[in-house]
Amino acid sequence: MIITDKRCWAEINLSQIIENYRIYKNQLPEKTKIMAVVKADAYGQGDAEIAEVLQKEGVTDFAVATLDEAVRLRTSGIQGQIFVLGYTPITQAQNLIEYDITQAVVDENHAKLLAKLGPRLKAVFALDTGMNRIGLDADYPDFCEEVIRKYSDKFCLQGIFTHLCTADSMDKEAVEFTNNQIKKFEKVAKRIEDLNLPYVHCLNSAGGLWNKCEKSVFARLGIILYGLKPSYQNQLPEGIKPALSWYSVVSMVKNLHSGETVGYGRTFKAEWEMKIATVCVGYADGYNRLLSNNFYVLINGKRAAVLGRVCMDQIMVDVSDILGVEMGTKVTLLGQDGDEIITADDMADAIGTIGYEIVCNISKRVERKYKYEYF
């Protein structure tokens, strides 16, 4: 019996985060700066911890999606500019000033409300160049220019930005759409050059590698910072690897006889004598229920298929052909064990989603452990 003090945990290699950042930075034009995207708790990997090591590396600009995320960074000691690139209700906007947070303006109505806070409020205008999510409609550059100039002295205007919605695709139509988005953005940016706004950016992780925008001062580094691909079509620069690994332990091993079933709904039935192990992870930990009878874990360097439905707190796996499995044996959910590896993209492919969702959905119940492995 192996004695462990954890049932389920994730390990984040902070050295790999820095390595990913450095490799990505070296792919950009020398004049292009990086804004680190640490929204959604740094894609499930710990926003304050990730931002702290990046700050030591020289990063001065961070992007999040919500005011709460921004305040958590600021109160954790993160300096420089922190941008909320999503909506903040006007009832919470005073906190933007209190914590020195820069807010995205999602449309003209939002601008009218934020303008009431005056020049102490830092803001950036979002431009909608084709995603139809937030922003002033860049199909009407005259309108965009008019609104931006109108509010340029109502609050402390810092810049403009947009989001490229197909920059991760190499399909001809997608590439054409991305190029058109960039052209729309540059058209508006050129009209307001005299405002000398410091934060003008349209490149996301994928855009920074595979697109060019002369007016984009920054590339927003998100998913690639964590070592994941923006899409299955992408090949990342050599050396960029996942920073997160996810582990659990075996709680019990037992024999399963032919004809016996496993789990809720009895969806797996043994056709021969088997040995199964119960593993301490479930959908409450972020292990998706769609992985039921549909994926595998790694134990002692071998694959162990998930049997039956994923429970809230536990799964059962087939260890018939794996030696040395006992209570406390380490189980790899994401990461490498011997010659075998499971990536977030592997897991995502099995259930028809994306790697982003896999890592973001690892719940707070799963303790994060941080380590350095110097290269």
Name residues whose C-beta falls within 8 Å of residue 315's C-beta, 6 or more positions apart in sequence. Answer: 278, 279, 281, 282, 287, 291, 297, 306, 308
Name residues whose C-beta falls within 8 Å of residue 187's C-beta, 6 or more positions apart in sequence. Answer: 138, 141
Distance CA 356, CA 223 (A): 7
Q: Active-site residue among 56, 264, 364, 372?
A: 264
CA count, 13 A, side-chain hemisphere, 166: 18
Distance from chain centroid for Cα 347: 15
Token pair listed for 174: 């997608």
Closest CA relative to residue 195, chosen from 162, 151, 163: 151
CA distances from 196 to 148, 157, 305, 351 (A): 13, 10, 58, 47
Q: Active-site residue among 21, 24, 25, 39?
A: 39
Distance CA 150, CA 241 (A): 45
Distance CA 282, CA 289 (A): 8
Task: Tell me if residue 371 is catalytic.
Answer: no
Task: Find out whether 170 is annotated in a ligand binding site.
Answer: no
Distance CA 97, CA 78 (A): 16
Task: Tell me if residue 296 is catalytic.
Answer: no
**Which residue has tokens 């923006």?**
230
Residue type for position 212: K
Task: Find out whether 191 is annotated in a ligand binding site.
Answer: no
Pairing type for strands 330-337 and 261-262 reads: unpaired
Catalytic residues, which ones? Answer: 39, 264
- Going by the annotation, the residues of the binding site for substrate are 133, 312
- Going by the annotation, the residues of the binding site are 133, 312
